[in-house]
A = this chain, B = another copy of it.
């Protein structure tokens, strides 16, 4: 399928990548309802691993089944479906070629208590190749004392993935002894997290919607001195997107914990208005009954299409 001018423009921001990596980035941008718009809505389902199975799937029992999520992503017209190894292995062959897959290469669980947060590497780039994935994903926790382990692993993963023509999606979630709990979503910290991911070579960066707080005193001075606007979500999203190479990296925003549809759509409007590239929405989709989830995902995509 011929690429839109917008998608070609986005690809032009990654001039050091080989055609394989660009092609897979194009595949994600060119798939589903938002194909060609330069916007993305991704279904991520790693909560079974991260939060536990019943907490994740109890609200909507069909979601215990791995096939459920493949089908949901396909039917909703998502750009991609992201999950840990087990979930992808259970369906990748059956749904081969129907939806771009992102293999999450590391995961945490909520049973273990680690001194500093650091996900375990639970799959390899080669697993992603074998399973026909379009990209790999990796989570870093900026502000964790385990920073070097994570960044060094990430660097190797990005380099290896590029060799196989796979772009890397980085979940950049500030957490750890370096910041306060509230600081995890402070706008300066989220912007900083986006910058780190971009500097590491991420192709797509996933962050949480930023809050108005500013965590770091040194940053605060700058925000004040230059009157950087962070009042509205749109302003803060713009602030974060700017921090990712002046908007020349794809930055998408997570949906966060379960909430009602209206609140989600309101948030998506803010992301869109601030120039965000999309939404990655897990619990708010698969914890709803399928019909409601499909409607919600389509409404989200509708918001992005409205201005795309």
Contacts and interface: CB of A to CB of B under 8 A. Distances in A.
A198 B86 contact: yes
A80 interface: no
A161 B43 CA distance: 29
Contacts of A265: none
Q: Copy number of this protein in the oligomer?
A: 5
Contacts of A189: 111
Contacts of A223: 54, 58
A97 B26 contact: yes
Interface string A94-112: 1011100000000101111
A243 interface: yes
Nearest to A143: B111
A137 interface: no
A124 interface: yes
Interface string A47-61: 011011111011101
A164 to B, nearest CB: 6
B15 A121 contact: no
A238 to B, nearest CB: 11
Contacts of A254: none
Nearest to A66: B245
A49 B96 contact: no
Given A59-B222, A174-B111, A178-B111, A20 B131 contact: yes
Interface stretch (A151-159, A272-280, A288-296, A297-305): A151-159
Nearest to A93: B15
Contacts of A159: 124, 126-127
A248 interface: yes
A223 B16 CA distance: 41
A87 B199 contact: yes
19 contacts: A15-B19, A15-B94, A16-B88, A19-B131, A19-B132, A20-B133, A27-B97, A48-B199, A52-B218, A54-B219, A57-B243, A58-B222, A66-B246, A86-B199, A86-B202, A112-B177, A112-B178, A113-B145, A122-B152
Interface of A: 1-3, 7, 11, 13-27, 29-31, 48-49, 51-55, 57-59, 61, 64-66, 74, 84-94, 96-98, 107, 109-115, 118-124, 126-127, 129-133, 142-145, 147-148, 151-152, 155, 159, 163-165, 174, 176-179, 188-189, 191-196, 198-202, 216, 218-219, 221-223, 225-226, 228, 239, 242-243, 245-246, 248
> Closest 3 interchain pairs by CB?
A26-B97, A23-B132, A20-B132
